[in-house]
Amino acid sequence: MESDRDGGCRGEFTCEFCSLSASYTYYGQKPPNTRAIVLLEECFVMRDPFSPDKEKFLVLGSSCSLCRKMVCVGPDCSLFYTKRFCLKCVREHLEEFPQQIQMEVAKKKQTHKTHLSH
Ligand SMILES: [Zn+2]
Ligand SMILES: [Zn+2]
């Protein structure tokens, strides 16, 4: 029925962690109207509203490969390591990630606490 024509809103993307929300125009690995772009994962994508260029698009987020929650691509919400993981799942399975990822996540934890310091 609905083909992959541009412009049509497919639904609403809402990040389960930071509540970022936007309507996405495409979900999948190859956004329409892009010539050679194939994304590494299935993503929620919207056409870039700030660009007149039809081929420009924004990746809003994806779903966590473990808990399937919608997460945005923000560094405080998710991480891409061969697949998309939300930070909650990353923390739960931290030992299974390489040390480099573990260090990155450790850094993120610190930046979250800045509001509490006095
Ligand atoms: Zn988020
Ligand atoms: Zn998750």
Domain hosting residue 40, numbered range: 11-116
| pLDDT in the model for residue 36 | 81
Q: Which long-range contacts (CB under 8 A, 24 or more apart) does 42-49 make?
A: 43/73, 44/13, 44/70, 46/13, 46/22, 47/6, 47/7
Chain segment 41-63, per-residue pLDDT in tens: 999 999 888 888 878 889 999 99
Residue 28 lies in a domain: yes
- Which-ligand-closest: CA of 16? 1
Cα 28 to middle of ligand 2, angstroms: 18
- Give tens-digit pLDDT for 31-43: 888 888 899 999 9
The answer to whether residue 2 is domain-embedded is: no
Evaluate whether residue 4 is within a structural domain.
Answer: no
3-state secondary structure of 96: helix
For position 2, what pLDDT does the model report? 47
Q: Within a domain: residue 46? A: yes
Alpha-carbon dihedral angle through residues 79, 75, 41, 21, given to the nearest 10 degrees: 130
Ligand 2 centroid – CA 25 distance (Å): 23
For the chain, what is the domain count? 1
1 pLDDT band, cuts 50/70/90, is very low
Residue 31 lies in a domain: yes
Q: Is 68 a domain residue? A: yes
Structure tokens, 46:
């919207």
With respect to residue 96, please indicate whether it lies within any of the assigned structural domains.
yes
Is residue 62, in this structure, part of any structural domain at all?
yes
pLDDT tens column, 4-15:
455 566 899 999
Task: Name the strand (E) or helix (H) holding 44.
Answer: strand 43-47
CA of 55 to the centre of ligand 1 (A): 24
- pLDDT recorded at residue 17: 96
